[in-house]
Structure 1
Amino acid sequence: MTAATLRTYTCKDLAQMAKKEGVAGWHSMRKEELIDALAKASKRRRRTGDPSETDSVASAAAASPLARLSPAQRHAKTRIDALRARISQMKNIASPAESESDKDRIVLMVRDAYWLQAFWEVRASSVERARTALGHNWHGAKPTLRIYRVLEDGSSTLYREIAIHGGVNHWYVDVSDPPNHFRAELGYSGSNDAFYCLCRSNKVSTPMPGSTDAVNGNWNDVAENADRIYAMSGGYSPQGTSMELQQLLEERLQRRMGRPTETRFGNGASSMVDNREELSFAIDAELVIYGATAPNAHVTVEGEPVTLRPDGTFAVRMHLPDRRQVVPVVASAPDGVEQKTIILGIERNTKELEPMHRDSMRSF
């Protein structure tokens, strides 16, 4: 059997043939090494005139199901098997075994007025249950992230349906019309429009767009901005946030989430208060004015022209002095015939309270 013929077989088949031939070290050989060893074994048999060359290599090859296929058919089957494996991998949204949680969960976090981030952990057994439940519809099923808009009466309506894939455990979702309320579901959409839900998220509320967006932009790392994400997702509100979000952040960051006075100061925090310098603290403020008009209009703020974005929106940052002020914003039509003015009355009143000194013996 020639090397060219041997190359038409898979590495697994070649390994079985080498095992039957008694090739030493066959289990650690690569495909080309197996081919070379089998070809040499075949030549040795022919030189010695061993009639069994009719042939243990050939008989081992014939024992393989692929041996009954032509080279073109074997190539096609290999490609089909690889495609099936790829589809299975893309459909599997289970968490890796080493990081698998004891339950399925999806947590929704607010990144800013226009972006949410969904993070999930799903057990492999839950994916298998979804496969069983969907039955013959599993073939066409797709892992799906559903975003729902939560209405004032507590009911919800489907806002977006996003096809996701395996190999990831989070997804960024752009939303509109802030402020708004959202929740999410993670599962599989079947070919018959059926949806098998694996887990549901907490409810979050996006803030009004403004200075947070203009000054800070999108956040790049949850760990660095965990306290801010926690706060924007309702962590410091009177109603609080969901336990899922709090548990997730605490597990990932290995620290408690909550107000700094509850989580960052413990016994003895001020035990050396008399030996340290006085705490320095000062703040200032900026005013962010944003709006929208016709893309070709002319806008001024306090008489200063403002550059419009292509869609007619604009945002202006100004220093906010510690006093009352009136800010006129004027928009003029391109031909100058029509003009509209909006007056903003703004007051900043900054007060410094008496400093507090913590009791070093107090337990938190």
Structure 2
Amino acid sequence: MSPTISSLARLTLRQLRQIASDLGVPLYSRKSKESLVDEVAVRQEKRGGDLKAIEAELNVPTISTTETRVVFLPRDPQWAYVFWEISDSDRERAQREGANRLCLRLADVTGMQDGSAHPHTLQEVPVDSHSTEWYLPVPLCDRDYRVELGYRISNSWMSLAFSSIARVPALHPSEQILDQFVPFSLDASPAPAPNAPAATSQAPAPANETSDSGLHERLYQSATVHFRRRRVGSEEFQEAFHDSSAS
């Protein structure tokens, strides 16, 4: 793989489309990443330009791939999003060993503490060697999964990186209810405390209950009379007219 193609392969699909648009590649939005890498490399050689100069014109940031890593992000109960970066040293090592296919391995690790996976749950998905992201179908929801990135070399496997363990959400709402609600009624009298002694008779009414009712009436009358004395303008005129008519 030439340095130009290797540099282009590290770019995202959106960045490649921007460069292809600048170089005049026809139908670039419908092409795969591998096709864009090849056509951009050919047109760049004909144009005689440098990839770094084109990226500087487009303000495209270069991707640093000093370390190989893979990230597993569940999207919904049926699909998960995976993206990765492969260092130049790992790519060169894979080429030396004759790697011919980049793959993602999805393993069910629910309840496993020693880093192992459940038997017969490993799924190996071949992906585009020039791609840096992929959508994986999830076999079962509400389970813990881990993704391994690596190369298939004939009948052997070359591991590159493992993702963190992530749980795929359940398809239906959880049946577990943590909140406990106590029914109550505003009409019913409050229940006595558990350790409170039972009342033998009803408590007598306070002695000043009747006097309080009279006090409330006097306060109301004084407030309304004072309000009537402060009428002004047309209110006072209408009240005087009403009193004269009544007499």
TM-score normalized by structure 1?
A: 0.30
TM-score normalized by structure 2?
A: 0.43
Determine which structure has the larger strand proportion and give its number: 1
Structure with the larger RCO, 1 or 2 (CA within 8 Å, 6+ apart): 2
Greater C-alpha Rg: 2
